[in-house]
Structure 1
Amino acid sequence: MAGSPNSNLRGFNHAVQTLLKQPSQFLPHLTIPTFTHLPEDLGPHLVGAAGKGPAGTPQLTSPEKPRTPRIPKICALVLDKDNTLCPPKTTTFPPQILTKLAELRNSPTSPFYHATNPHSILIVSNRAGSHPNFDGEVRELEDQLAHLRIPVFRLPADTEKKPFCGDEVVQWFRERKVIQSPNEIAVVGDRLGTDVLMAGMMGSWSVWCKEGVFEPGEEGKPERNILEKMEVWIEKYLREKRGFTAPAPKGWEE
């Protein structure tokens, strides 16, 4: 975790290179307005991407018959903090976000029910948990979520921020016996260049919260910054103009 607490220049460079070489990796498997719209049973909502190749073209088992896609089994959630769970650079959870987290943790039908899957939700932020400067934020977040048993990921020493810490996140879930494969994880966040790219590097599924933490038109919703505007434009261009779709996680078709 050495270096500037806010620097992620390598992440920006990686996003640019990916956009040039593998643009479909920029696309999420599922797009929702905000985290409050996240389906409890995610698998069926991701299945549209499960039969797609790297360029978004259907994979066929024979010349005549398309492959029937499997339904992903999602056992773990990786949640971004800034502009996904809280307004940027704050530890303030809007009431509707806390309600949604409580529903996911307290519903016996939820795959993330605390009694049967206690380690299934992890906050992974490029702020809280990424540098000692933000240790206060970690304590504030975990104090508020203690009743839901949702921790913040501490970036190990000499590990880079999202999108490069995916292997460490997968290992965190493996050590707690939450998953057997990375394709049982869904990464949920507001940024294509970090959250969605990390999901692809992990071999996991991605969910893009397109509007961030605020609903469209909600009072207090800030204007998108330049990078956020660019990502929205890029996603629309790749999907509508180029016809790309998100590739299934690596290994999913094997």
Structure 2
Amino acid sequence: MVNSNLQAFNLAVSTLLKTPSHLLPNLTIPTFLDLPEHLGPHLTRNSSSSSSSSTEKNTPQKTPSIRALVIDKDNTLCPPNSIDFPKAYLQKLESLRTSPLSPFNQTNNPQGILIVSNTAGSRPSYEPEARDLETRLQHLQIPVFRATQNRKPFCGPEVLAWFRERGVVTTADEIAVVGDRLGTDVLMAAQMGAWSVWCKNGVTHGVAGSQQDGRVDLDYRGFLAKVEVAMERYLRETCGIAPRVPPGWEG
């Protein structure tokens, strides 16, 4: 079996050397708790299109219409290698699914959120975890994606097809990928032509009933994730590189 983690690492290194803008997120937030309900206006804020002179020409700025969310699990919704949600993170998911104004309201857009993980649902050995996760989120109708061939960042075409088959989106630029890793989540968004949202600090809250219950200052990021923080800052601040945007949004 090909080591998909090694493949992903090699792709991230190749991307860094050739097209580093594909590793920069369209929107950076501290944690999932800071995800705006209406993403569109926030996604172009740091992109190349936002630096154009459209305002001076009195032409309106295009705003993405986000109809679908792809959300990572490990260190985005839950601590790594866990399906236990910190209370605030579960409440955030519930708000996205129940708020009357949310584009991802489960009544009006029942299949507008999909969890795509490199653990749960990514291979047969993680199937029990995927089923348990779906059981916990049954009241919110949030499914876990089952990868048939590739894991992140290579499964973008399959994810896009999943949403298209269900009539949620017609094009990839109606999707936002939300996760804590540049080399998997943000890079997958770039590969599939979607928008990316980077949860820079990952999960910072303790899970109820655990030894960390009540804490809001946790840091589950591993070595590579911390390297990505420095890399993102270097590319953006020192090199002056702007995030890539989906085709047609170049400005």
- Do both proteins adopt the same fold according to a TM-score greater than 0.5, normalized to the shorter chain? yes
Q: Secondary structure at the match of 1:8?
A: helix
1:101-130 CA distance string (max 9 Å, x none): 000000110000111100000000011111
Structure 1 alignment gaps of length 5 or more: none
Instruction: For residue 244 of structure 1, report the CA deviation from its aligned partner.
Output: 1.2
- 1:1-254 alignment runs, 5 A limit: 3=1, 7-49=4-46, 51-52=48-49, 58=51, 65=57, 68-156=60-148, 159-214=149-204, 218-219=215-216, 221-222=218-219, 224-253=221-250
- Give the aligned residue type for 2:27: L
**C-alpha separation in 2, matches of 1:242 and 1:211:** 23
**C-alpha separation in 1, matches of 2:7 and 2:53:** 37
Q: Secondary structure at the match of 1:245?
A: coil
Stretches (4+) displaced over 6 A: none
- Give the aligned residue type for 2:166: R
**C-alpha separation in 2, matches of 1:50 and 1:250:** 12
- Give the aligned residue type for 1:113: N
- Give the aligned residue type for 2:112: S
- Give the aligned residue type for 2:238: K
1:185-241 CA distance string (max 9 Å, x none): 0000000000000001111100000000116x9457245321011100000111111
Q: 1:50 touches 1:252 (CA, 8 Å); kept in 2?
A: no
Q: Quick check: 92-101 or 65-74, which moved more?
A: 65-74
Q: Secondary structure at the match of 2:28?
A: strand
Instruction: For residue 137 of structure 1, report the CA deviation from its aligned partner.
Output: 0.6
Percent of aligned positions that are identical: 57
Instruction: For residue 140 of structure 1, report the CA deviation from its aligned partner.
Output: 1.1
Q: Secondary structure at the match of 2:69?
A: strand
**C-alpha separation in 1, matches of 2:133 and 2:114:** 12
Instruction: For residue 7 of structure 1, report the CA deviation from its aligned partner.
Output: 4.4
Q: 2:48 touches 2:242 (CA, 8 Å); kept in 1?
A: no
Q: 2:71 touches 2:114 (CA, 8 Å); kept in 1?
A: yes
**C-alpha separation in 1, matches of 2:58 and 2:154:** 34
Task: Mark the CA change 1:66 to 1:14 in structure 2 (over 3 Å): closer, same or farther.
Answer: farther
1:69-90 CA distance string (max 9 Å, x none): 3000000000000000110001
Q: Secondary structure at the match of 1:200?
A: helix
Q: Quick check: 240-249 or 167-176, which moved more?
A: 240-249
Instruction: For residue 9 of structure 1, report the CA deviation from its aligned partner.
Output: 0.7
**In the comparison of the two structures, how many residue pairs are matched?**
243
1:155-179 CA distance string (max 9 Å, x none): 01xx211111000000000000001
Cα RMSD after superposing both structures: 2.3
TM-score normalised over the length of structure 2: 0.90
Task: Mark the CA change 1:243 to 1:218 in structure 2 (over 3 Å): closer, same or farther.
Answer: farther
**C-alpha separation in 2, matches of 1:221 and 1:80:** 18
Q: Secondary structure at the match of 1:186?
A: strand
Task: Mark the CA change 1:20 to 1:68 in structure 2 (over 3 Å): closer, same or farther.
Answer: farther
Q: 2:201 touches 2:219 (CA, 8 Å); kept in 1?
A: no
Structure 2 alignment gaps of length 5 or more: 206-213
TM-score normalised over the length of structure 1: 0.89
Q: Quick check: 65-74 or 183-192, which moved more?
A: 65-74
